[in-house]
Amino acid sequence: MTPWLGDACSLVEAFRARELSPVEALDACLTAIEASELNAFSYLDPDAARAAATAADVSLPFGGVPMGVKELTHVAGWPYTEASLVFKDQESGFDATQVTRLRQAGAVLVGMTTASEFGGVNLTRTRLNGITRNPWNLDRTPGGSSGGAAAAVAGGLVPIGTGGDGGGSIRIPAAFSGLLGLKCTYGRFPKGPSAEMGNVTAVGGCLARSVRDTARWIDVTNGYDRHDPLSLPRVEGWEAGLGTHLDELRGLRVAVAPTLGSAVVRAAQVDKLEAAADQLIAEAGLRRVDVPVRLPALDVAWALSGLVGVMAALGDRYPDCADLLTPQIRFGLEFATNTYDLRSAARVETTRRDFVDQMAELFGEVDLVIAATNPDVAFAAEGPLPEVVDGVQAGPGNNGALTIPSNIYGNPAISIPIGTVDDLPIGMQILAPHHREAWLLDLALIVERERPWPLVAPGAPI
């Protein structure tokens, strides 16, 4: 039996109509995962999943839906490795809040999807798990850090998977794999228990095949939790509200800035983006305004602030464990420990503070910004990160230049599939002010209607 190749919501509908049972859907997923060349899962829990599928209440939002959980997420009794050899034998003793809420919504947790080590690189290749591959082309990466989730969902292995976005880690793999990827306002999803409070950039989320799947995921997982004092109050009605904000959208000011003023983006991708943006602006009744968008390069400030969390996780194991780390993480830690002092930390915070003010000024002039999600299509699965785009030397920081700004500012941003270049997917990114995810979902709904994208990669499951 082939695994479900529609979206998660339609799978629940099939369960309720008794066209398919949760156990049958799970067995098809497990068979496809075992046969897959994608290396999208690092751990499977078939016995617990089958017990959950057998007892599934299909009246629940995700009742019976097989789902992957990103490797950097706590699930009680499952490995908690940070995708690192350093923690290869570590096991979690509790469920993250989002996992608890997904279980309560009826999700059947199949296993852990692969991620980059500590979520720090936008390709999924680690010494612990090897190389994860893109279902559109096995020689290419699905991106990172939520690369396993993207590969699993686009590759037809599970209909939806959890992700996390600290510098583009949902949007980058979504664009590389032809999926929808929404990074919500910081705090929309609680990060506890054991929430890290230092680097306030990372948010939870999902890799999804449809807009309604994303909205349902928000309905299930959003809302304040006492373990995360920065989490936001619960907001109801995301799925029910789809398509109801069209009057709000009409006349909103939008800037189309493919490069955001700092990235180097492939010309062929810019052409596709401009065409998709023009169509969306016309369909939604937006008002295009000519506002210069020149956001600074933030890769160094972002990386240095994020490495604080990596060092906290490693603790006294570092530097003795350095040889177990992937080269990018090892280099980053060496650089940070040799150059990062109190004055350096102050400079990073000054950069972040000034950038927040710059973004605030931008959203005083416009209501939305349309940009590329990635500089180019997916690169080689084994890396390295590309440093040249269209013959222009861009440097490794170019790979996250388009997504990092919304993590530092904390505003919502979405990547929407808009077609292909070289037979590989590309995404259009839309940035909105804080708490305006509903705008982004309705804009994505328009694109989904006018430019429907394939729910899975050609030839999936792979």
Sheet with 287-288: strands ordered across: 41-44, 108-113, 66-70, 160-165, 203-208, 180-183, 413-421, 424-431, 368-372, 253-256, 287-288
As a whole number of angstroms, the distance between CA 97 and CA 260 comes to 34
Contact, 102 vs 74, CB < 8 A? Answer: no
Contact 81, 116 (CB under 8 A): no
Rg, C-alpha atoms of the chain: 20
Question: Encoding tokens for residue 173?
Answer: 């793999």
C-alpha 3/C-alpha 13 separation (Å) is 15
**Cβ atoms within 10 Å of 376's Cβ, excluding its own:** 23
- Residue by residue, DSSP assigns 319-383 as TTTGGGS-HHHHHHHHHHHHH--HHHHHHHHHHHHHHHHHHHHHHHH-SEEEEESSSSS--BTT-
pLDDT tens track for 219-228: 999 999 999 9
Cis before 21 (ω within 30): no
How far apart CA 362 and CA 384 sit, in angstroms, is: 33
The whole-angstrom separation of Cα 112 and Cα 356 is 34
Beta 253-256 vs 287-288: how paired, if at all?
A: parallel
Predicted TM-score (pTM) above 0.85: yes
pLDDT of residue 199: 66
Dihedral angle at the C-alpha atoms of 23, 29, 33, 38, nearest 10 degrees?
Answer: -160
CATH 3.90.1300.10 fits 8-299+343-450, yes or no: yes
- 216 contact partners, CB below 8 Å, separation of at least 6: 8, 9, 61, 62, 238, 239
Q: Mean pLDDT in each 10-residue stretch from start to end of the chain (462 residues)?
A: 95 98 98 98 98 98 98 97 97 97 98 96 96 98 98 98 97 98 97 76 96 98 96 98 97 98 97 98 98 88 82 91 91 82 81 93 98 98 96 94 96 98 98 98 98 96 88
Report yes or no: 133 and 140 within 8 Å, Cβ to Cβ.
yes
pLDDT at res. 301:
81
The residue to which tokens 């037979």 are assigned: 423
Which pLDDT score is estimated for 198?
Answer: 60
Please report, for the chain, the start and end positions of each structural domain, with discontinuous segments joined by +: 8-299+343-450
H-helix segments, 155-266 = 171-177, 211-221, 246-249
CA distance 326 to 84: 8
Task: Report the distance separating Cα 116 and Cα 122, nearest Å.
Answer: 7
Helix (H) / strand (E) containing 53: helix 46-54
Coil, helix or strand at residue 122: coil
Phi/psi for 88 (5° steps) reads -60, -25
- Residue 372 pairs with which residues in a beta bridge? 428
Looking at residue 31, its pLDDT comes to 98
pLDDT of the residue at 197: 62
Residue-wise pLDDT for 393-438, tens only, equals 999 999 999 999 999 999 999 999 999 999 999 999 999 999 999 9
- Grouping H, G, I as helix, E, B as strand and the rest as coil, residue 177 is helix
Q: Which residues are catalytic?
A: 70, 145, 169
259-318 pLDDT, tens digit per residue, is 999 999 999 999 999 999 999 999 999 999 999 999 988 888 888 778 878 888 899 999
414-425 pLDDT per residue, tens:
999 999 999 999
* Burial readout 190-226 (b: 16 or more C-beta within 10 A, e: otherwise): bbbbeeeeebbbbbbbbbbbbbbbbbbbbbbbbbebe
How many angstroms separate the CA atoms of 33 and 36, rounded? Answer: 5
CA–CA distance, 89 with 59 (Å, rounded to integer) = 37
Q: How far apart are the first and last CA of the chain?
A: 14
